[in-house]
Structure 1
Amino acid sequence: MSNDDPQADMKKELYTNGIPISPTLNAMPDTPDDSRKSFFLKKRLVQISFMCVVVAAAISLIAKFLVSLINLITNISFYGSFDLAFHSPADNHLGAWVIIIPAIGGILVGLMALYGSKAIRGHGIPEAMEQILVNQSRIKPSITFLKPISSAIAIGTGGPFGAEGPIIATGGALGSTLGQLFKITSNERKIILAAGATAGMSAIFGTPIAAVFLAVELLLFEFSPKAILPVALACITGAAGHHLLFESGPVFPMPDIAVPSNLALGVYSFIGIISGILSLGITKIVYFIEDAFEKLPIHWMWWPAIGGLVVGIIGYFAPHTLGVGYDNIIGLLSGKLPFALVLSLCFYKFLSWAVALGSGTSGGTLAPVMTIGGATGAILGTVILQLFPQSGINLPLAALIGMSSMFAGASRAYLTSITFALEATMQSHALLPLLGACTASYLISFFFMENTIMTEKIARRGIYTPDSYQPDFLRKLRVSQILKNDLLVINADNTIQQVKDFFAATPPSENYFVITDAKGAFNGILNLRDVYTSRQDSEKPVSVLARQSTFSVKTEDNLGDVVELMSEQNEDTVPVISPDGKTVVGVLTSRDIVNAYKYRLLEENAATANFSLKRQRIKMLIKGRRLIKM
């Protein structure tokens, strides 16, 4: 190539799919063996699944221990007897002395938090979410025994919580601890943590499907075989533990439900809307109370004692607000509780739970929210039946609707709320009413509440919680879909100076170019930056600057695999070869992949942008009309 004509020996061609621009590649290595990689991943899945089952078996025993410990502390605190059987604290005869018992429990929890671990405070799920999102699913091993003991003390002395929150936190801590003992990835540790947490829920309630959905919606933030299978096996193990250690029937039995009419379905959906609105208020009030405790001029260790004192005062006037309250849920679902008691559970249970939770003591959320929601549904159902007897609604089903939709609105665990109600009651005819009510409640929550009762606490710390679970966009795109249709090919014999002259005369639009030898065979990739920053003699052939690729990809490969391969090889460019593996058809860069992702985001936001633009135009039009009228 002469300096007078810098383009003389340059080879610039356009190609389309199926038209190669270089002969057979002799030195291009094959892509990694996918079958060996697939075998390794499946073997790893079996190992992680086995660990999850072991954790689930252990957490089932811990769940039985926790429930027995709660019963023991309850009987000692309110009846002075060493008994492991369940007795409701509502039947105590302590009189005004009942006020100080929850306060004593709060003092003990505060001391455990101060000298043990502050992580025992709270209701379990948000704390587990935080460790998954920011701490690579690492939870202190001490939480495995501190959380159940502190929760048993808090609940056994009258705290208005359920046992499910502590056992979920304990299961997560146990799974995380086991994951830290072995050399596994943070994602695998997340799976074991979620498996332990949801196996605990399954062991308490015997609801494995709901537990799996809970993992997907609040802990895993993904839906893939490598995550679902271990968690599902753990939840099945937890359910088996429930049947073996607790009972085999529905945890919340209720009268059989007939198929509802269309009018009744509309009424149940209306109850779901009201429950969704109330769930917004519940969330706001809980965190308002928590903020109020933060402003107290005393050490946080004493806050659970103050919360316990309020719980005791409320429990003196409304004894049924004390303790776990699973019997209250069964009573609400029977439809036979006196209306005054239902009102008491709705208001006083909420007040007691909100203050206790805001004080930072150790307890759960699921059972209290469902108790409040069940009472709300029963109240609304009673009022509707009085005003519109022809509505055809069923009072126990109205309570179940309120229970499930309240939790759906407060947590936005949509599928968990529906499946939990079905599994816990074994009432298949409730499916359609539950679907309508929970959808209505979820819509209200989604449109009017930025964070949920599960995510508000960690969101205040600047932690983003995923709210959608979509397949990897890059794995849906093939290389051929983003590969550019023009390729600049440079002869390896051209000197560095000749290449500089060529680019001076023809400014390039790309930064990477293919180099071929005298026979036209692939010789490497040239980076434009290397041409201008190299200290090599300008008269040397440009081939000295060529980057020799150690791997290649094919046009039919998906971008997800390509990104993974480029990350493993620490390369930002890769030659693309034809499906038959014989010819180079282009160069793929990390910038191309970023641009593909960027295009996808622009495409997704197009509808929102168009809507905003239309609304802005309407506002301008209205403003213009007003000016004309003036």
Structure 2
Amino acid sequence: MALNQPTYLSHDERFRAVYMSALAAITGLISGLVAYALFNLIALALNVTYFQAVSLELPNLAQHTLGAWIVIVPAIGGLLVGLMARYGSPKIKGHGIPEAMEAVLTSDSRISARVAIWKPISTVVAIGSGGPFGAEGPIIQTGGALGSLLGQKVSMTASERKVLLACGAAGGMAAIFGTPLAGVILAIELLLFEFRARSFIPLVIATAVATTLRHALIGDGPLFAMDAVSFGLPWNAPAYIVFAVLIGFVAVGFSKLLFLVEDGFDALPIGEVWRPALGGLGLGLIGLIAPQVLGVGYDLITGILNNHFAVTALLSIAVFKTAALLVSLGSGTSGGLLAPMFMTGAALGALFAVCMNALLPGAPLEPAAFALVGMAALFAAASRATFALIVFAFEITRNYDAILPLMLVCVIATGVGILFMRTTIMTEKLARRGLRVHQDFEVDPLERADIGSVMETQPLRIREDARLDSIAPLLGMSKQASAHCDALVVVDADEALVGILTRSDVLRAQTEHIDNSLTAGVLCTRNPVVAFPDETVREAVHRLLYHDIGRLPVVARHDKTRLVGYIDRAAVIAAHRRGMREDGIQLSANP
């Protein structure tokens, strides 16, 4: 197979690339500033609500000063969020990422200004009143909304606007966690559904700007600091495999239970405004028992990753954090999934290691190591953003020894999720609305085949001086023509390409009773659109669609009059069928 010739960008394409890069930098700066502001506003709200103090440091809610009033505060926050959803925008409900995905799929990546305003406000209220969420999901939606709004203010295509939306989302995540590479990959896996230079370069620029801003405002350390830890490979590999299977089933159960709780709240005979308040009341009762699970809980995650908790504390965190998340998010309030699922996964990982060490005395399992892989694997299996979570956990620890156990556990857990869930925790809502999200990254069969490998090398030709009465039999009415032949390549005496003569050209001439002495050179379309044998079939398809034609003469690149082949729709279908066979896809006449 011949290699494609290098593609050189036109002046307009170079200008658009620079233009998009500049807009991506602006989007990254804005999303970084908004993420920083949101982070501090959440901390301020928690301090004011639970400690009646003014501070921008995230507090430990286990030491709150509210007493029994802790039951009421989340209910009030839930009611306020319900009112915002009712009179502001209903799209503020949920954890943010599915809503951003829906905008990409259904609205040409257009997100309204209302979402950009009300989502961060509702997040501050929800988390500030004790919601067990992180700010990352809402900032992903808010950052995406800001990128979309910028894309709506300037002239650009829907694809370019989608890139800016993803830049805002990735910039927001990078600014919160200090994980620029994971932000890029998460945006690719959950929002862009493509990996191209036109989107990858702006994404990197946006996250680089947002992360640089984070370093200036917050510092360059990771959000979850972790001491050095031994992962124990290869001897602990069997334990990692067992844990991977278990955490995969936990992810499946958690996802199904979340939507079961949502369905339960939707079935309640009360208005939508009151459902988040009811969920907040349930959250308040949980907070009365385990107040440490309220709020973002970044300090708890850090503590789990550094072996600061005993078994009873780990069990309490895993159980009550999950219950708090289910009852509050299921009621339709606003908050992010990443941080609470990180906490649950980390607690389960540490618990697994502690229990295995107790059952098998002498087992060298490090709870912090299993906490890290559990943190990444639970969300990876539930969302199938596996690559992003592997990179995310690595960026947090900056420990290369973590790569192998992260890859092993995340991939196996994701495999369990694929086996037992048709959708993911991110796409279930969209599937219920009739939207299909294709999250697999695969090369189009038409990209794998070049034109030279599928073209007809001996196309039916006719001389330009051939008369009309001798042409008609060649277009489907002669044994020497193939059954699907509806066009002829017109050449001169030296076999140089002159044009394309189609059946419609001949029928038009016959209908208009033109003299049969007219020749092919007069009736044909001269200087036709052509293709080169080293181009991909996909490029040929784009050309066919753009010009609304059904075939292309194939010519030598060094001499565009030298005919070397011919490609039409039948050849395109044949290339696609060949690609399907290479992928092991069975061809069948039945659906």
Q: TM-score range by the shorter chain?
A: over 0.9
Moved more, 199-208 or 512-521: 512-521
Asked if residue 553 in structure 1 is aligned to residue 528 in structure 2, the reply is: no
Deviation of the 1:571 alpha carbon: 2.9
CA deviations 1:142-163 (Å, max 9, x no partner) are 2222111110100000111001
Contact 1:73 1:152 survives alignment (8 Å): yes
Residue identity opposite 2:503 in structure 1: L
Q: 1: distance between equivalents of 2:133 and 2:150?
A: 28
Contact 2:182 2:388 survives alignment (8 Å): yes
Asked if residue 565 in structure 1 is aligned to residue 543 in structure 2, the reply is: yes
Q: Matched residues, percent identical?
A: 37
Deviation of the 1:62 alpha carbon: 1.0
1:22-421 matches, within 5 Å, as 35=8, 37-258=9-230, 260-421=232-393
Q: 1:39 to 1:474 in 2, by over 3 A?
A: farther
Q: 1:33 to 1:65 in 2, by over 3 A?
A: closer
In the other structure, the counterpart of 1:626 is: none
Q: 1:442 to 1:151 in 2, by over 3 A?
A: same
Deviation of the 1:391 alpha carbon: 2.2
Q: 1:427 to 1:505 in 2, by over 3 A?
A: closer
Contact 1:128 1:169 survives alignment (8 Å): yes
Asked if residue 600 in structure 1 is aligned to residue 572 in structure 2, the reply is: no
Contact 1:103 1:312 survives alignment (8 Å): yes
Contact 1:269 1:433 survives alignment (8 Å): no
Secondary structure at the counterpart of residue 389 of structure 1 = coil
Q: 1: distance between equivalents of 2:587 and 2:575?
A: 19
Moved more, 196-205 or 549-558: 549-558
Moved more, 540-549 or 252-261: 540-549
Residue identity opposite 1:423 in structure 2: E
Deviation of the 1:512 alpha carbon: 1.6
Residue identity opposite 2:272 in structure 1: W
Asked if residue 535 in structure 1 is aligned to residue 508 in structure 2, the reply is: no
In the other structure, the counterpart of 2:490 is: 515
Moved more, 59-68 or 274-283: 59-68
Contact 2:231 2:369 survives alignment (8 Å): no
CA deviations 1:406-465 (Å, max 9, x no partner) are 111111111111111121233332222212111221121122221111111112222221
Deviation of the 1:609 alpha carbon: 7.2
Deviation of the 1:365 alpha carbon: 0.6
Deviation of the 1:258 alpha carbon: 2.6
Q: 1:483 to 1:154 in 2, by over 3 A?
A: same
Contact 2:496 2:563 survives alignment (8 Å): no
Secondary structure at the counterpart of residue 482 of structure 2 = coil
Q: 1:481 to 1:315 in 2, by over 3 A?
A: same
Contact 1:549 1:574 survives alignment (8 Å): no
CA deviations 1:225-252 (Å, max 9, x no partner) are 2211111121122221222222322221
Q: 2: distance between equivalents of 1:224 and 1:518?
A: 45
Asked if residue 584 in structure 1 is aligned to residue 563 in structure 2, the reply is: yes
Secondary structure at the counterpart of residue 142 of structure 1 = helix
Secondary structure at the counterpart of residue 21 of structure 2 = helix
Q: 2: distance between equivalents of 1:579 and 1:195?
A: 39
Residue identity opposite 1:535 in structure 2: T
CA deviations 1:41-83 (Å, max 9, x no partner) are 3332222111111111111111121111111211222122333
Moved more, 557-566 or 536-545: 536-545
Q: 2: distance between equivalents of 1:578 and 1:231?
A: 38
Secondary structure at the counterpart of residue 469 of structure 1 = coil
Q: 2: distance between equivalents of 1:437 and 1:558?
A: 38
CA deviations 1:530-588 (Å, max 9, x no partner) are 44465132642353542334432222222233333333333332222134313223332
Asked if residue 504 in structure 1 is aligned to residue 482 in structure 2, the reply is: no
Contact 2:500 2:528 survives alignment (8 Å): no
Q: 2: distance between equivalents of 1:505 and 1:260?
A: 75
Deviation of the 1:287 alpha carbon: 0.8
Residue identity opposite 1:580 in structure 2: H
Q: 2: distance between equivalents of 1:505 and 1:86?
A: 83
CA deviations 1:193-239 (Å, max 9, x no partner) are 11110111110110111111111211111112221111112112222
Asked if residue 452 in structure 1 is aligned to residue 424 in structure 2, the reply is: yes
Q: 2: distance between equivalents of 1:389 and 1:436?
A: 24
Deviation of the 1:363 alpha carbon: 0.4
Secondary structure at the counterpart of residue 526 of structure 2 = coil
Q: 1:553 to 1:375 in 2, by over 3 A?
A: same
Contact 1:495 1:539 survives alignment (8 Å): no
Deviation of the 1:496 alpha carbon: 3.8
Q: 1: distance between equivalents of 2:447 and 2:11?
A: 20
Residue identity opposite 1:107 in structure 2: L
Asked if residue 442 in structure 1 is aligned to residue 414 in structure 2, the reply is: yes
Contact 1:123 1:362 survives alignment (8 Å): yes
Residue identity opposite 1:193 in structure 2: L
Secondary structure at the counterpart of residue 513 of structure 1 = strand
In the other structure, the counterpart of 1:524 is: 499
Secondary structure at the counterpart of residue 511 of structure 2 = coil
Matched length: 578
Q: 2: distance between equivalents of 1:361 and 1:255?
A: 35
TM-score if structure 2 supplies the norm length? Answer: 0.92
TM-score if structure 1 supplies the norm length? Answer: 0.87
Deviation of the 1:111 alpha carbon: 0.9
Q: Which has the larger radius of gyration?
A: 1
Deviation of the 1:529 alpha carbon: 4.4
Secondary structure at the counterpart of residue 304 of structure 2 = helix
Secondary structure at the counterpart of residue 605 of structure 1 = coil
Q: 1:259 to 1:319 in 2, by over 3 A?
A: closer
Q: 1:385 to 1:487 in 2, by over 3 A?
A: same
Contact 1:210 1:416 survives alignment (8 Å): yes
Q: 2: distance between equivalents of 1:260 and 1:49?
A: 43
Deviation of the 1:471 alpha carbon: 3.6
Q: 2: distance between equivalents of 1:259 and 1:399?
A: 11
Moved more, 40-49 or 201-210: 40-49
Contact 1:497 1:539 survives alignment (8 Å): no
Residue identity opposite 2:182 in structure 1: A
Q: Over the residues paired in the alignment, what is the CA RMSD in angstroms?
A: 2.3
Deviation of the 1:492 alpha carbon: 4.2
Tell me which of 414, 433, 439 is aligned to 1:467. Answer: 439
Q: 1:429 to 1:516 in 2, by over 3 A?
A: closer
Secondary structure at the counterpart of residue 552 of structure 2 = strand
Q: 2: distance between equivalents of 1:46 and 1:532?
A: 49
CA deviations 1:122-153 (Å, max 9, x no partner) are 11111111111221111112222211111010
CA deviations 1:154-202 (Å, max 9, x no partner) are 0000111001111111110000100111111111111111111011111
Q: 2: distance between equivalents of 1:163 and 1:128?
A: 15
Q: 1: distance between equivalents of 2:393 and 2:18?
A: 31
Q: 1:316 to 1:542 in 2, by over 3 A?
A: farther
Deviation of the 1:590 alpha carbon: 3.5
